[in-house]
Structure formats: structure tokens, C-alpha cells
Amino acid sequence: MGWWSEQVVPRATDVVLSSREVAELRRRVCSGLAGEVLEIGFGSGLNVEHYPPTVRRVAAVEPSDVAWRIAEQRHLDPAAPQVTRAGLDGQRIDLPTASCDSALSTFTLCTIPDLDAVLAEVARVVRPGGAFHFLEHGLSPDPGVARWQRRLTPVQRRVGAGCHLDRAITDRVRGSGLVLQEVENFYLSGLPGVKVFGYLYLGRAVKE
């Protein structure tokens, strides 16, 4: 990664995704997590305060050292579950098969080069009956918005450390073999160009 991706994007993401509205969505997506949790794209630890008491430990996959340093102040809270850095690349997770009770991803699946590989790893690491909770932005069903998402994605990938605006998240989750249990789709309010950048998928899929 270059200087922009390494130094600027993690700090900007920490600020942009710290709003009250996003915090409430984080609380909702974390609801129901329990036991040993795999978090893909731990980032700067913005989900830590929203883990329910049923979470014992978190295996955090995070490539950015800058984001991890910011996060340390959050996950060192004695009231928070134990968090360990479990790797840098969600496409190859160094954890045993069926070793986690549940998994979590928030605003992460847009940036990973091989999304199918990540979802396959989530399906491998989560125990049967465990759930993958996700809060992601992606492709809108509105043809006009989707057209602009596809036009702007090449630019967004350069300035947003690989971020795609046009990924159909639920289709990709279904393709992993995980079974969708619920999903909500809506636009995030309060951001410039919100329809292009803020069409959200909030859902849960189960490993059978």
C-alpha cells in the first residue's frame, strides 16, 4: 500500500464512520454475537463498544498498522472482550476450521480484492450453526444510482484503498454457501452523495 492508503485512509475512515447513526447500526449488527468471534476488517476498533456481553474473545483480522494503533486505546478497555490480532489478510485466515462461534464484518467487504476467498474463509472458520453478521455498503437497486456507482468505482478504488461502490453484497454472501437469514437494505443519511456511497446491507447469514 502507498502512503495515502497506509496513513490517510485509516484515519479518515475512523472519523467518517464514527457518526451517531453509524454507531447505532454497529450496535444492531453486533447484537447476537457470542463466544469466540472472528472480525474481518477490525479497523480502528469502532465496534468494540458495541460487542454484547456474550462475546468472550475476538480474533481480529486487520492489515493496517495505523488502524490497529488507533484501536488499541479502545480494546484495552478492561470491560471489553479480549482482542487479539489474528492476521493481516482475510483471504487467508490463520485459524483452525470451525474454531469461531460467529463472525463480523463492517464496511470491509468493499475493499478486499478477492471477496469470494474471504467469504469462503469465513464459512470455513465459523462453526456449524454459527452466524456471519455484516454491515456493508454496496450496489444500489436504483438503476440511476447504480450507474453512477459503476462510473465512480475506478476513482473510489484509488482514493479509498481499493473500495468498490458496486458490489452486490447479498449475492456474494449467498455464493459462499452461507445461508442468509435476514437482510435490510437502506440508504445511510447525512453524507454527501449518500445514495452513491451509502446504500447499506445489514444482515446475518448462517453456516449450516
Packing angle of the helix pair 65-75, 9-16 (nearest 10 deg) = 40
Series of mean pLDDT values for 10-residue runs along the chain (208 residues): 77 87 96 97 94 96 91 76 89 93 97 94 96 97 96 93 94 93 91 81 97
| pLDDT tens string 69-94 | 998 877 667 778 889 999 888 888 99
Q: Which amino acid is at 178?
A: L
The pLDDT value given to residue 191: 60
Name 60's bridge partners.
39, 85
Name 131's bridge partners.
102, 206
What 3-state DSSP class applies to 168?
A: coil
Alpha carbon distance 38, 123 (integer Å)? 11
Is the whole model's pTM more than 0.85, yes or no?
yes
Q: What is the mean pLDDT of the chain?
A: 92
In order of start, what are the domains of the chain with their CATH numbers?
Answer: 3-206 (3.40.50.150)
Alpha carbon distance 192, 194 (integer Å)? 5
Total number of residues shown for the chain = 208
Q: In this structure, are residues 29 and 104 in contact, taking their beta carbons and an 8 Å threshold?
A: yes
Its sign, for the CA torsion 124, 55, 46, 196, is: positive
Residue of 111, 146, 134 whose CA lies nearest to 13:
111
